[in-house]
């Protein structure tokens, strides 16, 4: 078990674990912000008011039609370059600061993942039978009550399997934050790999992602079981 000892005492391991913390923060912030945001987006996509519906459509097309890596770069650099342009036009006195790297990454991830989650939620909302709305209405519930008390809880159960896919992808996508130099686990693993002339840090990073997703899968199985009390 020599190799295990070497591994556990590797000088780069503490750094990698610190990076894992950053990865987890990125992951949690994205989930906590993008899921609630996705519900109004899904409703906007289903709105009878066509300008809103079109606006959401364009957003979905752009976000799903361009690479997430490009979106990360755009969110980071766009405020400065766009504001320089606005200064030239005399609409702004000084150009905006480049945002904090971590904040920019969270922002891009939230915008991106909200798009995917909103489509999952839309599918879920549309799969609820019309009779549920009608029963709610006949019993005197207001429209928000029907949505939040009757429809949404049933939607949650239906979107769990599709969401699990998305969340697992998110764990791995956090590695893209390296393009902004966010010190998450992949960025650090790559750095250590080149400074130590060893693939071990990269293998370690792989193991870390694998374990994280193992936990995610386990959590989703638990949630599915918990919601199994009704059809």
Partner 1 sequence: MTDELATLPASAPLIDVRHLSKSFGESMVLRDISFSVYKGDVLTIIGPSGGGKSTLLRCVTHLETVSGGTILIGGDAMVRDGVYAEKKALRRICLRMGLVFQNFNLFPHFSVLRNITEAQIHVLRRTSAEARATAMGLLEKMGLAQKANAYPCELSGGQQQRVSIARALALDPDILFFDEPTSALDPELTGEILRVIRALAAVHMTMVIVTHEMAFARDVSDRTLFIDGGLIIEDAPSRQLFDAPLQNRTKAFLSRMTNE
Inter-helix orientation angle 185-195/200-226, to 10°: 160
Three-state secondary-structure class, residue 142: coil
Footprint of partner 1 on this chain (CB under 8 A)?
129, 131-132, 134-135, 137-141, 145, 149-150, 153-154, 157, 229-231
Q: How far is the CB of 139 from partner 1 (least distance, A)?
A: 4
Q: How far is the CB of 150 from partner 1 (least distance, A)?
A: 6
Three-state secondary-structure class, residue 91: coil
Rounded to whole angstroms, the Cα distance separating 10 from 201 reads: 9
Phi, psi (rounded to 5 degrees) for 106: -60, -45
- Of 149 and 222, which CB lies nearer to partner 1 in the complex structure? 149
Dihedral class, residue 21 (left if φ above 0, else alpha if ψ from -120 to 50, else beta): alpha
- Of 127 and 169, which CB lies nearer to partner 1 in the complex structure? 127
- Of 151 and 216, which CB lies nearer to partner 1 in the complex structure? 151
Q: How far is the CB of 226 from partner 1 (least distance, A)?
A: 12
Q: How far is the CB of 217 from partner 1 (least distance, A)?
A: 24
- Of 65 and 140, which CB lies nearer to partner 1 in the complex structure? 140
Q: How far is the CB of 45 from partner 1 (least distance, A)?
A: 24
Rounded to whole angstroms, the Cα distance separating 223 from 164 reads: 10
Q: What is the rounded (10 degree) CA torsion for 210, 36, 100, 81? A: 120
Element housing 212 (H / E): helix 200-226
- Of 51 and 129, which CB lies nearer to partner 1 in the complex structure? 129
């Amino acid at each position: 078990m020599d190799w295990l000892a070497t591994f556990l005492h590797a000088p780069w391991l503490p750094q990698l674990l610190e990076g894992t913390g950053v990865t987890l923060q990125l992951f949690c912030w994205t989930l906590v912000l993008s899921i609630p945001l996705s519900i109004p987006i899904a409703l906007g996509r289903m709105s009878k008011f066509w300008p809103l519906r079109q606006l959401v459509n364009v957003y979905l097309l752009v976000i799903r039609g361009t690479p997430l890596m490009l979106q990360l770069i755009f969110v980071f650099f766009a405020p400065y370059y766009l504001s320089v342009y606005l200064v030239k036009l005399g609409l702004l006195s000084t150009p905006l600061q480049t945002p904090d790297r971590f904040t920019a990454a969270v922002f891009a991830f939230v915008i991106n993942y909200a798009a995917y989650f909103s489509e999952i939620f839309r599918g879920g909302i549309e799969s609820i039978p019309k009779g549920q709305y009608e029963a709610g209405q006949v019993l005197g519930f207001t429209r928000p009550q029907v949505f939040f008390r009757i429809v949404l809880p049933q939607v949650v159960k239906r979107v769990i399997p599709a969401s699990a896919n998305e969340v697992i992808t998110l764990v791995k996508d956090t590695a893209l934050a390296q393009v902004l130099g966010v010190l998450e686990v992949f960025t650090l693993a790559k750095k250590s790999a080149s400074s130590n002339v060893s693939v071990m840090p990269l293998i370690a990073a792989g193991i870390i992602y694998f374990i994280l997703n193992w936990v995610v899968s386990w959590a989703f199985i638990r949630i599915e079981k918990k919601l199994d009390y009704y059809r």
